[in-house]
Chains A and B, each alone.
Chain A
Amino acid sequence: MEGAYDEIISDNPFFIQFKNEYSNLLQHCISQSWIICVPRIGSLNTRVFTVEDFCAHVLVPSDELPETHYSTLTEKQVTVANKVITLEVTKGLPLQSHILFEETFYTEDYIKYKVWCVETPLEPNTNVGDCAITKDYLLSINDCIDLLWTQAAGRQVLDQIELNVQQFLKKHSPLPIALAPLRDAISELYTQCLQSTLQNRRLREKCKVSKHLLENIKLSVECYMQHLLFDSLFKPICTICAYEDSHLNKKIRNMCDIQLRDLDIKKELYHAVPKAKQILSKIVTYNTVLEKVLCLKQALNAINKKDNSNNVVLLTADDLLPVFVFLLIKSSIPNWYSQLKYMKEFRFSEVGNGDCDESAFLITTLEAVIEHIQSGALAGPPNPESYYYESNLTEDNLNDNGQRKNSLTESISTCDTNSREETLEYVFDLIKANNSEQVQYLLEKNQRHLQSLQQNERSAVKFAENQDDDDDEDDDEEYETEIYQKLCHPLCSCKKCCSKISKNLLKTSPTVSSRDSHGLTPLHIASIHGKANIVEILIDMGAKINATDLNECTPLHYAASRGHQNALLLLLHSGASINQANIDKNTPLHLAVNNGHMNCIKALIYFAEHGRKNLKINCTNEHGNTPLHLAAKWGYEGIAKLLIENGAEPSLQNHNNKTAFDYAHNLKILQVLKLSTPNLYEYIHITSTEVKTLNCKTDNPVTLKLQSLKTRNNETNNVTKTVENLKRLERIFQAISYGDVKLACFYMNIKYENYANTNITTDRLSCHPLCECQLCKKTHQTISDYDINFADSNGLTALHYAARYGLDELCKILLLNNANINSSNRKGQTPLHLAALNNKIMVIRFLLDNGANINAIDLSGNTPLHDACEVGNIGATKMLLNYNPNLNMINGSEKSAIEVAKEKLHLTIIDLIEKHTNKIK
């Protein structure tokens, strides 16, 4: 492919002499359409050629087999196969020569003749020139390194390129995250690398002789450069393409259960698809454009048709695109767009060829395929039920499918026959057509009928039992197979027999709880197609909410994976189990994330929060992947953010020991995982009703305290509640560490807006202990729902955190919600200790103004002042001193605060304390 041999025939000395000195012979050959072979330049020592030499290189097609058998004008027999000329010689082995290329010449009067450029002369005993042809094709980075190494006789060229790349990376760190500047920078680097390569005298001399070599050197330099750059270069490219990739992924994920026949791919090609898929999936392992393009080529070459006699038939453009589309969808590579951009924009050595080489064709084809998927021109996601229906058909009767489908759709429109109505398939079609009335009518009718029949049967059985004791209640299973044996007589029409037969018939008459052979119920179908109104009807009719099909998928799974938010919410509200795993251990959340349905993810989270359901956000599927793994892999930034804000943990490992970080293939998603600044308000519409700031005051602190005490007692008994609180605390702490007061409040169920303008000194009293006004209600709820003084395993409360991160605003809010100002953690530290340690002056002041114990000691006997002195926090020390701490307190090591400061040589602090002591005196 790349770097195939080429030369200018008209510059070839052999050809020039032939033309100039034996033009008559040449004219004759041309008029006879004989083929002229020209040994490649350098394969013959320059000398004067004789007429025999020329005659030995003219091939005359034989009469019987003009395509493969020839004779030369020197009467030698020649055969041609697989681009190789074989010449019979009188003694010794036959002589062989490769055809390097064919060129079709036209004379001035447009007479055509062909010239084959051959690797070696077609004469025995000719002196073969010294300049042996270099490797014809460069197929891998190893070939490239090999070429540069051998041609320069050492690794100096490679070293030079390496040096260039290193310098480049140093200079351009970080690489620009925009395509044009990035490409220009790399292009410049390529030029630089090539220049330094050609400074190698040996290489330069050789390239002067062989243009072919020069081309290959260029390509090798490019490849080696790409090889060295790849790790630094590809992430920025992926980042540039993050948006396109995530959109493409969403499209692809939603089509991922597509089948070959959905794309009109010819049956003859089916057999080759797995192989091609396997080859194509390796594209991510290659670093150079050369190898990536080659991978595309091999994948497509693996797809070949066989005719009846097992000969390979050519793959045409009509087959190529659909197969390629299929391969791409099935490849599960998360960054096709980036791969394309890399291949398209970062080839520099092919300058001047326009789009005229095979690589350009392959890359363009990839582009077309991506465009095709992206454009949505493909029919939407295939329906699992249609797949189920057809999946058990053999290839032989696949042809009938078209017909089948037609007749199905026809039946919807005509809606005529009774027998049709008796099938579940028909009901499914009605659901798809959103014909809710008909669905309801039909299912209810059948239900009633079935009920009445069951009643009849029961009485009939009773009646029969009276007469005949050995006729037992029939087992359902036996019923079908042996029904006719159970009748009094095959043609009997007694009441009992009639009911038996009609019940049997009704087994096929669809009701709301009927299932098809793959376990799909009408509710599944309605969920798959997002027919919310039918979902509602079916639920009202008593459909089983958590019915599972053969893949153990519930309707909720389908609604989530298809992105039908309304259907999903209806199912959730009717008690669908939110964490149900299917056969692959995927929960509905997994499926919604995998297919990029933000709306459904929001709905799941929202419902879980409000319905007090525990949505397992870090649930793992069969491969150990959490939803966040999937979001990271497919590059869904918004979804990843949302998951993290709701407690998804990016550092969990799947069964391949990979975390979500490992799957993040661009910097954008990585950034989301690393420092997702939670801002929940964007995503979830929590505000059910705007709470009006009424003219009411807070509850009586005493009642509140009592309440809080009560709830705390309840909670300690309730282990799960504690676990939940711990999780929640984690989120709160995270929010606090980001400095997001609003979010922290949200997690604690505190209405931030109510406090936003609160002046701390205002005495807030409850309107009345039993006041039901919004604000009071809200506060009540808060207390009962989340214990503000709940501490994690280190004994840290929200107030500790707020103090540590210096959020005085949050401290205010927490105190207003009855946070314990002097609560101590496991080391005995109060919030004031932490504020002092972290030099949070505003918090120190606020805490001390509101009754914090300035002389509180932790387990090692340190007061906040000790701590401030120890770490040398001047501001904190100043502020603490304003509140007259006891300067004589000594800690566990028998040291006062000033002694600590002296020990640490914090001169300013020593000075401050001394001054203060003097002042007091």
Chain B
Amino acid sequence: MSSAPSGTHNFKVVLLGEGCVGKTSILLRYIEDKFNDKHLTTLQATFLNKKLNINGKRINLSIWDTAGQEKFHALGPIYYRNSNGAILVYDITDEDSFGKVKNWVKELKKMLGSDIVLVIAGNKVDLEHERTVPLEEAESYAKMVGAKHFYTSAKLNQGVEELFLELTREMVERFEQNSQTEVNRTSRVLVVEDEAPTQSSCCSGSRSN
């Protein structure tokens, strides 16, 4: 899980949003741990690893679920620091939860700048008839802040896969841009280029961040 051979991107993704908007449901839906049914450790509803291979690029996603309760809001920075991506979830039937997303966007932009890829997920589209967050508003807001917007339903398994795929692609893109423009910059994600197990290359004991 942790060992990362050459050429693998390690990306950290956090799920943020008000309580009960469906963060945990989305995460569990995405993982659909089939071969692992009874073996799920209890932690696996809060932290998950997923290996992807997109066009020959290996990506190791680690997805962190967070607690939605307001009293834990202050702990946000501890969780999202070093993140490459954030999924901001709201419930399309709950206007307050969309307001919460806006707060998160503000906070993340302030704290992490453009280092982090944001996607916004309007969850529970199976409850379309109860929608209170206007479609156009959500989409134009997302556009304004430079985040992709997705409609998802964890219940019906709609849009979840696409959400993560798009986020991953953007993270790869962002990473490659960054490593092109700032070759010398210590990146949050370290790609170990073709690491050979010789003394010189594998023994760097310093921390990357």
Contacts and interface: CB of A to CB of B under 8 A. Distances in A.
Interface of A: 1-10, 67-68, 80-83, 99, 101-108, 110, 112, 115-116, 187-188, 190-191, 194-195, 198-199, 204, 207-208, 211-212, 214-216, 218, 297, 300-301, 303-304, 312, 314-318, 320-321, 348, 350-362, 364-365, 367-368, 371-372, 375, 377
A191 B206 CA distance: 8
A186 B56 CA distance: 37
A220 to B, nearest CB: 13
Nearest to A112: B161
Contact of A10 (B1, B39, B56, B78): B56
B199 A352 contact: no
Given A9-B53, A67-B37, A354-B10, A359 B2 contact: yes
B165 interface: yes
B42 A312 contact: yes
Nearest to A6: B3
A9 B8 CA distance: 12
B82 A81 contact: no
Give the 6 A-B CB pairs with smallest separation, nearest first. Answer: A314-B45, A357-B2, A215-B3, A191-B205, A356-B10, A4-B1
Q: Interface centre among A67, A81, A190, A317, by most B CB within 10 Å?
A: A317
Interface stretch (B128-136, B147-155, B185-193): B185-193
Contact of A301 (B38, B42, B84, B204): B42
A82 B39 contact: yes
A364 B78 contact: yes
Nearest to B72: A321
Interface string B27-66: 0100000111111111111110111111110101010111
B67 interface: yes
B6 interface: yes
Given A6-B4, A317-B46, A372 B72 contact: yes
Given A83-B39, A106-B165, A214-B197, A352 B192 contact: yes
Contacts of A214: 197, 202
27 contacts: A4-B3, A8-B6, A80-B34, A80-B35, A103-B52, A194-B203, A198-B198, A199-B199, A212-B3, A214-B197, A214-B202, A216-B3, A314-B44, A316-B24, A316-B45, A320-B67, A321-B67, A321-B75, A351-B207, A352-B10, A352-B192, A354-B84, A355-B62, A356-B60, A357-B49, A361-B43, A372-B74
A354 B13 CA distance: 12
Contacts of B209: 354
A32 to B, nearest CB: 16
Contact of B190 (A10, A215, A316, A354): A354
B51 A104 contact: yes
A354 B189 contact: yes
Given A80-B35, A106-B165, A377 B74 contact: yes
Interface string B1-31: 1111111101110000001000110001000
Contacts of B60: 356
A697 to B, nearest CB: 66
Contacts of A354: 10, 12, 82, 84, 188-190, 208-209
Contact of A356 (B11, B72, B205): B11
B111 to A, nearest CB: 15
Contact of A3 (B3, B37, B43): B3
Contact of A208 (B6, B35, B197): B197
Contacts of B205: 187-188, 190-191, 194, 348, 351
Given A6-B1, A368-B79, A377-B71, A353 B10 contact: yes
Looking at chain A's contact residues, the main secondary structure is: mixed
Nearest to B5: A211
B184 interface: no
B156 to A, nearest CB: 18
B201 to A, nearest CB: 11
Given A304-B42, A316-B45, A8 B7 contact: yes
A83 B44 CA distance: 15
Given A3-B3, A351-B208, A357-B62, A82 B38 contact: yes
A6 B64 CA distance: 21
B181 interface: no
Contacts of B11: 356
Nearest to A188: B205
B69 interface: yes
Interface of B: 1-8, 10-12, 19, 23-24, 28, 34-47, 49-56, 58, 60, 62, 64-69, 71-72, 74-75, 78-79, 81-84, 161, 165, 188-192, 196-199, 202-209
Contact of B75 (A80, A207, A372): A372
Contacts of A377: 71, 74
B14 to A, nearest CB: 10
Contacts of B35: 80-81, 83, 99, 102, 116
A301 B41 contact: yes
Contacts of A318: 19, 24, 67-69
Contacts of A80: 34-35
B37 to A, nearest CB: 7
A355 B28 CA distance: 20
Contacts of B203: 191, 194-195, 198
A204 B44 contact: no
A412 B111 CA distance: 45
Contact of B24 (A4, A10, A317, A361): A317
A647 to B, nearest CB: 43
Nearest to B83: A355
B197 A351 contact: no
A218 B3 CA distance: 10
Contacts of B1: 1-2, 4, 6, 101, 357-358
A104 B72 contact: no
Contacts of A357: 1-2, 49, 62
A361 B38 CA distance: 22
Given A187-B205, A301-B42, 13 more contacts: A1-B2, A7-B5, A10-B53, A81-B37, A82-B39, A190-B205, A211-B197, A315-B43, A348-B207, A351-B207, A351-B208, A354-B12, A357-B49
Contacts of A116: 35
A190 B207 CA distance: 12
A104 B53 contact: yes
A73 to B, nearest CB: 19
Contacts of A303: 42
B46 A316 contact: yes
Contacts of B65: 316-317
B40 A314 contact: yes
A353 B4 contact: yes
A355 B12 contact: yes
B104 to A, nearest CB: 15
Contacts of B67: 317-318, 320-321
A217 to B, nearest CB: 9
B30 to A, nearest CB: 10
A99 B67 CA distance: 31
Nearest to A348: B205
A190 B49 CA distance: 28
Contacts of B8: 8
Nearest to A5: B3
A351 B165 CA distance: 26
Contacts of A115: 53
Among A1, A6, A212, max chain B CB count under 10 A is at A6
A350 B2 contact: yes
A82 B34 CA distance: 9
B53 A106 contact: yes
Contacts of A300: 42-43
A106 B56 CA distance: 8
B39 A6 contact: no
A469 B1 CA distance: 91
A631 to B, nearest CB: 31
A252 B6 CA distance: 44
A101 B53 CA distance: 13
A9 B56 CA distance: 10
Contacts of A110: 165
